[in-house]
Amino acid sequence: MQPVESLSEMVFGFLEDGETMIRENCSNAAAISLPESETTEEEGDQEKEKTSDVEYNAGFWETPHQALQATLCRSSSLETKIRNATKEALKEIQNVVENICACGRSVAAGGCRSCLMREVSCRLRNLGYNSAICKSKWRSSPDIPSGEHTFIDVIDNSVRNKGEVRVIIELNFRAEFEMARASEDYNRLVRLLPEVFVGKVERLNNVIRILCTAAKKCMKEKKMHMGPWRKHRYMQAKWLSPCKRTTTSSVISMENSGTLPKPRASMLTVDLLEKLPNMHCTTVEVL
pLDDT at 106: 55
Residue 67: pLDDT band with limits 50, 70, 90: very high
Alpha-carbon distance of 164 to 245, in angstroms, equals 15
Least confident segment among 33-47, 85-99, 105-119: 33-47
pLDDT at 215: 94
Q: In this predicted model, which residue has the larger pLDDT, 274 or 7?
A: 274
> Average of pLDDT values for 114-121?
91
Q: Is 21 within the bounds of a domain?
A: no
pLDDT at 16: 34
Residue 136: pLDDT band with limits 50, 70, 90: very high
Q: Are 30 and 50 in contact (CB under 8 A)?
A: yes
> Average of pLDDT values for 38-65?
58
Q: Is 278 within the bounds of a domain?
A: no
> For the chain, what is the domain count?
1
Helix (H, G, I), strand (E, B) or coil at 258: coil
pLDDT for residue 51 is more than 60? no
Q: Is 257 within the bounds of a domain?
A: no
Q: Is 48 within the bounds of a domain?
A: yes
For 238-279, write each residue's pLDDT tens digit. Answer: 999 999 999 865 544 434 444 444 444 444 444 444 444 454
> Average of pLDDT values for 70-98?
89
pLDDT at 98: 56
Q: Is 33 within the bounds of a domain?
A: no
pLDDT at 135: 95
In 36-195, the DSSP E strands lie at: 130-138, 147-156, 165-170
For residue 94, count other CB atoms closer than 10 A to its CB: 19
Q: In this predicted model, which residue has the larger pLDDT, 29 or 212?
A: 212
Q: Is 38 within the bounds of a domain?
A: no
pLDDT at 254: 39
Q: Are 197 and 75 in contact (CB under 8 A)?
A: no
> From its phi and psi, is residue 250 left (phi > 0), alpha (psi between -120 and 50) or beta?
alpha
Q: Is 274 within the bounds of a domain?
A: no
Q: Is 64 within the bounds of a domain?
A: yes
Residue 112: pLDDT band with limits 50, 70, 90: confident
**DSSP character at residue 153:** E
> Average of pLDDT values for 66-87?
95
Q: pTM here?
A: 0.67
Give percent above pLDDT 90 in the chain. 48
> Average of pLDDT values for 206-217?
95
- Host domain of residue 126: 4-13+44-251
For 165-182, write each residue's pLDDT tens digit. Answer: 999 999 999 999 999 889
> Average of pLDDT values for 193-211?
96
